[in-house]
């Protein structure tokens, strides 16, 4: 039996579930996660339109294919008009959430980002606008919020300080990243944290720390995907993260935060043919099909063999709908805010 409340599970109990190879225990875990999700979201899976608007990045994360030092990537930036056209197409395809994701690109100053958010907000007053553009100061985050951004995705990547330093150059630090997350939450964003599974040097104890951090931060969204090597990075020769271990982390996260919005990530779909569907079967409830123009898709190569880089936005939208229906899920194109958002029923501390 799976305990109903994982927050009272001991570290040893969680470690056992993180590492279990027993298919029956895994299935019990996934089943408990589905049950926890059903109470808040039924069989609904929320669709978010992902717009990868710049692959320039000043950072040099050792795992990431668009790291600044990788001279083998062709760099691009979408113009305001190109971004708006992605939103228009997305809107026609039924999307009510746009996710603007990019590397940490200083060309997109606060002014420029605020301008983009404002332009989308004017055209789509009721849609959700999610930003995923990395670390900025509190004032910048406040400005984007006032301009109309609702949500912010910033994975913490790993909650263990020593491990964080093995994945990032010295210019980056875990305390700063956590501070960004607390700032975002404090400002009023729906906040997404998250981590990769199977990054080099990761231990089961590190994954336990990820779960404990998630439990403490109580983010509204949690992105979890397997590490996948990208050939032109320092980690290009490391093995990818485990598929089933990633599914177990999705399920454990669902049990810790039953109300969370958890994507079945593109990385999951990349390491296994039905990866995203199995992510949903392990407790995820969001998919993020790509809305970026087809000609730039391949250039947003965080890792090798990324799926969906040759498909038009409309194809991904339809493909994903068919895929999830085949597994008994119901596509939901609404904004899909965090359960209880705006009703005062949020579980976040005041």
- The binding site for ligand 5AD (CB under 6 A) comprises 63-64, 155, 157, 196, 225, 227-228, 230, 267, 302-303
Task: Rank residues 263 and 293 by Cβ distance to ligand 5AD and give the closer one.
Answer: 263
Q: For ligand FES, which residue of 187, 311, 333, 346 counts as binding (CB under 6 A)?
A: 311
Between the alpha carbon of residue 79 and those of residues 46, 116, 227, 311, the distances in Å are 27, 9, 30, 21
Q: Which does 155 bind (CB under 5 to 8 A by kind): ligand 5AD, ligand FES, none?
A: ligand 5AD
Q: For ligand FES, which residue of 92, 319, 330, 345 counts as binding (CB under 6 A)?
A: 319
SS3 for 164-180, per residue?
Answer: HHHHCCCCCCHHHHHHH
CB of 280 to ligand FES, least distance (A): 13
Task: Rank residues 92 and 231 by Cβ distance to ligand 5AD and give the closer one.
Answer: 231
CB of 307 to ligand FES, least distance (A): 7
Q: Which does 316 bind (CB under 5 to 8 A by kind): ligand FES, ligand 5AD, none?
A: ligand FES
CB of 325 to ligand FES, least distance (A): 13
CB of 22 to ligand 5AD, least distance (A): 26
CB of 268 to ligand FES, least distance (A): 12
> Around Cβ 187, how many Cβ atoms within 10 Å?
17
Q: For ligand FES, which residue of 113, 208, 320, 324 counts as binding (CB under 6 A)?
A: 320
Backbone angles phi, psi at 261, to 5 degrees: -95, 115
Task: Rank residues 225 and 279 by Cβ distance to ligand 5AD and give the closer one.
Answer: 225
Alpha-helical runs (H) found in the chain: 11-19, 23-41, 80-92, 110-123, 138-147, 161-167, 174-187, 204-217, 243-256, 266-271, 275-281, 294-297, 313-326
Span near ligand FES by CB under 6 A; candidates 29-37, 79-87, 149-157, 311-319: 311-319
Q: How far apart are CA 15 and CA 276, in angstroms?
A: 24
Tokens for 73, please give them.
């990537």
Q: How far apart are CA 140 and CA 28, in angstroms?
A: 44
Helix, strand, coil shares, percent, the chain, to 5: 40, 15, 45
Q: Among 198, 240, 246, 203, which Cα is nearest to 222's?
A: 246
Q: Which does 315 bind (CB under 5 to 8 A by kind): ligand 5AD, ligand FES, none?
A: ligand FES
Q: Among 249, 192, 228, which Cα is nearest to 33's?
A: 249
Where do contacts with ligand FES occur on this chain (CB under 6 A)? 289, 308, 311, 315-316, 319-320
């Amino acid at each position: 039996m799976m305990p109903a409340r994982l927050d009272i599970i001991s570290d040893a109990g969680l470690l056992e579930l993180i590492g279990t190879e027993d298919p029956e225990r895994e299935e019990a875990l996934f089943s408990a996660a589905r049950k926890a999700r059903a109470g808040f979201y039924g069989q609904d899976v929320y669709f978010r339109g992902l717009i990868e608007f710049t692959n320039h990045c000043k950072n040099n994360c050792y795992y990431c294919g668009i790291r600044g030092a990788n001279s083998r990537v062709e760099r691009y930036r979408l113009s305001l008009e190109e971004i708006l056209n992605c939103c228009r197409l997305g809107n026609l395809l039924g999307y009510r959430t746009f996710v603007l994701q990019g590397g940490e690109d200083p060309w997109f100053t606060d002014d420029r980002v605020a301008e983009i958010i404002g332009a989308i907000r004017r055209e789509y007053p009721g849609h959700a606008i999610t930003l995923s553009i990395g670390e900025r100061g509190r004032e910048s985050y406040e400005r984007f919020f006032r301009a109309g951004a609702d949500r912010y995705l910033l994975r913490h990547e790993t909650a263990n300080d020593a491990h964080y330093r093995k994945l990032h150059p010295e210019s980056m630090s875990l305390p700063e990243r956590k501070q960004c997350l607390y700032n975002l939450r404090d400002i009023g964003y729906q906040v997404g944290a998250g981590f990769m599974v199977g990054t080099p040097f990761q231990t089961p104890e590190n994954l336990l720390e990820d779960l404990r951090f998630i439990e403490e931060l109580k983010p509204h969204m949690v992105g979890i995907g397997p590490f996948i090597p990208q050939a032109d990075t320092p980690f290009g020769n490391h093995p990818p993260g485990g598929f089933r271990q990633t599914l177990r982390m999705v399920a454990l996260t669902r049990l810790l935060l039953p109300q969370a919005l958890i994507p079945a990530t593109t990385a999951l779909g990349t390491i296994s043919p039905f990866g995203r569907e199995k992510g949903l079967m392990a407790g995820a409830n969001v998919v993020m099909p790509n809305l970026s123009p087809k000609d730039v898709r391949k250039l947003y190569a965080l890792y090798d063999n990324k799926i969906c880089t040759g498909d038009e936005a409309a194809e991904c939208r339809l493909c994903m709908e068919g895929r999830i229906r085949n597994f008994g899920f119901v596509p939901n194109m609404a904004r899909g805010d965090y359960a209880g958002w705006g009703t005062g029923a949020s579980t976040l501390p005041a």
